[in-house]
Chain A
Amino acid sequence: MSGAFRKNLKWALIYLFLIIASLISVFPLYWAFVSAFNNTQQILGGSMIPHGDLLTNIRNLMDQAAVLTAFKNSTVNTLLVLVLSLTVCSIAGYGFEIYHDKWKDRVMGILMLSMMVPFVAILVPMFQMFSGMGLMNKAMGFVLPSISTPFLIMLFRSNARAFPKEIIEAARIDGLNEAQIFVRMFIPTMRPTYAAAATITFMNTWNAYLWPRVIMKSNEAITMPMLVSNLMGGYVIDYGVVMAGVTICTLPTVIIFFFLQKSFTEAIAGSVK
């Protein structure tokens, strides 16, 4: 009896903890969402409930900003990075772990240095390179620097450590070549890692701001985060419009995460064993 009670109490505490944590986590996003329904005075007055200004805010947003263009550009850029980056980095991560030796480990260590310098420092040389290559205002200009990141390589490398070597040996005996092993064995097994990597890459790319500001200069190349920050640039800030922009800008990540989180946590329980 008391054992069951303790167990229930334990669960109650766990749920309480998670609910409080969830509320704290979601609060600013909830507030942005609610504020999309409010006007500046209500927002700066700290209103936590939606009023009736959503349509006005969206109409004003559409009037002063090219939301559709920005949304389209952000989608194209993000999909490009997603596909290229997951491909390149997972291949590299696999290579570093499965064929690892002293030299490859050293190369990995050196590659990691590349993420350690603040972006401001390499901004001018980067700009010089990209304007020289004629990649200003082009999706490829946006994409190229974010394809290969030490972080994703490390992620795939460390998760590949759990990939059973016997599978590889067995596959080699079955006559599969190294590329086939990667595509047929590794990719399906590593679905959780791919899903996690995709989520993070999507979020990082979708929200990227510093580099696009440098490389995307024409109005036609604007991205969603640029659009949101443009809304804050004037003498008068309409916070209702800003929050409508913020909500539109955030929703895709929320949706993507909600659908991907299942695949990086539940789908593969059986395939590793």
Chain B
Amino acid sequence: MSRLETRGLVIDVPGRADGRALDLCLAPEQVWGVLGPNGAGKTTLLHTLAGLRDPRAGQVELDGQPLANLRRRRVARQLGMIFQERQDGFPATVLETALIGRHPYLSAWQMEGGDDVRLAEEALERLDVAHLKHRLVNTLSGGERQRVAIATVLTQSPQLWLADEPTNHLDLHHQTAVMALLAEQSAAGKVVLMCLHDLNLAARWCDHLLLFYPDGEACWGPASDMLVPSALERLYDQRLATAEIDGAPVFVPAR
């Protein structure tokens, strides 16, 4: 069980005022959604939370310890990240790609063993890409690559999931499958935080939301408190129509 907290965190978006400092507390069994228009700094926030980028002010703490003081290897055993953009400069198979999720757990001289391969294959199976395991990643479709990337983090099996647009490129069925996977992780005591473009996915699957405005202003809290049409309309600068289906709110852009 891990916990991620931020203290007076101001992310470093070049040329933008500090805005509101973030004091978040991401606890086990929570699913957080980060909503905001293009350029609000959602990806920058995720990278900062993962310790891949220095904040302008404040700090991120993993289980009470400043993230910047921890060794990357130790961090990688607890915190996994699904990137929105990936580099496939060199050819690699799907299985090899999933296996790098085991990197934080293996010593320098250790080769990936049978157990590691089994974990990777299970993850690929879970993401419905096991049949592709000997294919080269750069020959896959966008949606298949996205699922391989998620399978890599599943192989890494972190306590904290940071996901940047996890449903990118995915068809409706796989969108739902991935959201269900993340919900399942959360139910098993993990922490999940994801950036989402789809307001309705957020409304359907997230129990906490962080609304991120282009000027650096932000507000956060339980989803039920955040899903106020007026606030969302201000967030996206877009009028919305609201309905309720299966007891959950659904937002549609008004004409």
A and B form one complex: no
Chain A residues within 8 Å of B, Cβ to Cβ: none
> Residues of B with Cβ closer than 8 Å to A?
none
